[in-house]
Structure 1
């Protein structure tokens, strides 16, 4: 009897999956990648693993974590950047990407979340370059199993800004993913903007070291619009595939403007808008699916 019950349950689950797949197909929505809900086969000889990293940047060693895919040989790799201050680190996205066969390198900028040094926006840009240099170094690429010819940078919010500027100047990257990218250099180039910018910087300061809202505002005013989503950034991004994901957080207009500029330069941009908040709180599966499908499309 127990065998019959189990057999019937399996059959029912299988039958229940058919209408779902048929409904997805009929609606025109692509199927959810298996990596969203299925663990990969275990490889005992070359298991998936996690490595703690200490990455030199700006005279200190910032903290990083590598989520490494199982299987022999090298793997395509995503360097994933968090925002300001980084309460949402998108580690569910990192795990899903790893299940899809990619490595994911995450890190905390100088002066954030326990990484030594002083936090600054231009420091963030330097840190991203340092992380890319670290994973490309032959000894690190070998140890981590990184396919340096298939290296993608991705970032959320402020990390999307770092991603855009970094990818624009790095022709060797295979692509870039910008999720609700916040153009820090487009926030205001006049001293009158300082009170408003400082107020927006004032939350979650306990996660940042050796800075203040006023200091951060001064830095933004000082580098705007030099370090914004300007024409040079659009031109640089036009040389590689780019995924731009937006939400209902007020940042979509600036990101759409960048996407249009990249397309005008002949770039390959994939746009996706999800009706959710800045953290994609109720669209995590949709976000993971979109990123994984795009990464798989690079093949």
Structure 2
């Protein structure tokens, strides 16, 4: 019987996908949280909380993936892109299995959150969510360690992350995943027709806006709300992870990283994945890079 069990175990290991064997090409050992559930804690089980977060006189929709075990727990606030078809909720779940809380939300006017969608509204919403999780009553209820709070964002959410983190000295770090510099787009010659055409494909699940309104807003706040020198200076003071892919955005992210380093930033980690904008072929690699970086924070 023992020999049979041993043989079955060896065959299962041999047949297991490569990521399950603790190594990935070009990456460190894959954190166990990616493929292993945490030990059961009946007194403090993991759970999910639906959130209604005040912002701009409204209450936007959010979800908190709360880690098991006695808290408080370090926490990631995770921001989706435009319009947010890829919300990276597999990453949120992996972050929770790693012992961190993960708070996600929908900007005003997106995916059922009330109000009208706007880019500057997204920036205000991110600040409102950080204020919400830092509120002593909410932090206690959600078991959040406000001293170890990280903001992370994908695509447009990476832009919101960069501008928000640059102005928030209380954050423990920030993660930018294929960040799209929305403010930089308005500097393109003959920008409006180009941006309007681009925005016309991004309107699903957005309310109170149009491709023309979005283009006008981008042109209006460029370059004030771009990856400018002030943003690089603000990001140079904190740990930062910048992940890029083969989606055409890597040069803009590399330029920002270079500016941060030129401003004295010595806490920047970069990673490039050979996949598309949604990291469709590198979900495990993305999770491994983000969780390994989080675990390395002091």
Instruction: Tell me if TM exceeds 0.5.
Output: yes
| TM-score interval (norm. to shorter) | over 0.9
Matched, 1:171 2:166: no
* Bigger Cα displacement from structure 2, 75-84 vs 263-272: 263-272
SS of aligned partner of 1:84: coil
| Cα-to-partner distance string for 1:131-185 (whole Å, 9 max, x where unaligned) | 0000000000000000000000000000000000000000000000000000000
| Conserved 8 A contact 1:189-1:222 | no
Cα RMSD (Å) of the superposition?
A: 2.0
- 2:288 maps to 289
Change (3 A) 1:15 1:189: closer
What stretches of structure 2 of length at least 5 have no aligned partner?
none
Shift of 1:11: 4.3
Give aligned pairs, total: 296
Matched, 1:102 2:97: no
* Bigger Cα displacement from structure 2, 114-123 vs 188-197: 188-197
Matched, 1:91 2:89: yes
- Distance (Å, rounded) in 2 between the aligned partners of 1:204 and 1:124: 15
Change (3 A) 1:37 1:21: closer
TM-score (norm 1): 0.94
SS of aligned partner of 1:62: strand
| Conserved 8 A contact 1:191-1:221 | no
What stretches of structure 1 of length at least 5 have no aligned partner?
none
Where do residues 27-106 of structure 1 align in structure 2 (5 Å cutoff)?
29-106=27-104
- Distance (Å, rounded) in 1 between the aligned partners of 2:197 and 2:252: 21
Quick check: which one's helix share is greater? 1
TM-score (norm 2): 0.95
Matched, 1:5 2:10: no
Shift of 1:20: 8.6
Shift of 1:4: 4.5
- 1:149 maps to 147
| Conserved 8 A contact 1:97-1:292 | yes
- Distance (Å, rounded) in 2 between the aligned partners of 1:11 and 1:215: 59
- 2:220 maps to 222
| Conserved 8 A contact 1:189-1:223 | no
- 2:269 maps to 270
* Bigger Cα displacement from structure 2, 166-175 vs 267-276: 267-276
Matched, 1:212 2:210: yes
Shift of 1:29: 3.7
Shift of 1:188: 1.8
- Distance (Å, rounded) in 2 between the aligned partners of 1:190 and 1:275: 27
SS of aligned partner of 1:148: strand
SS of aligned partner of 1:187: helix
- Distance (Å, rounded) in 2 between the aligned partners of 1:190 and 1:152: 32
- Distance (Å, rounded) in 1 between the aligned partners of 2:27 and 2:104: 30
Shift of 1:16: 7.8
- Distance (Å, rounded) in 1 between the aligned partners of 2:152 and 2:77: 6
- 1:129 maps to 127
Runs of at least 4 residues of structure 1 off by over 6 A?
Answer: 19-23
* Bigger Cα displacement from structure 2, 274-283 vs 28-37: 28-37
Shift of 1:266: 1.6
Change (3 A) 1:179 1:190: closer
SS of aligned partner of 2:186: coil
- 1:193 maps to 191
| Conserved 8 A contact 2:176-2:243 | yes
- Distance (Å, rounded) in 1 between the aligned partners of 2:126 and 2:22: 42
- Distance (Å, rounded) in 2 between the aligned partners of 1:71 and 1:24: 27
SS of aligned partner of 2:78: strand
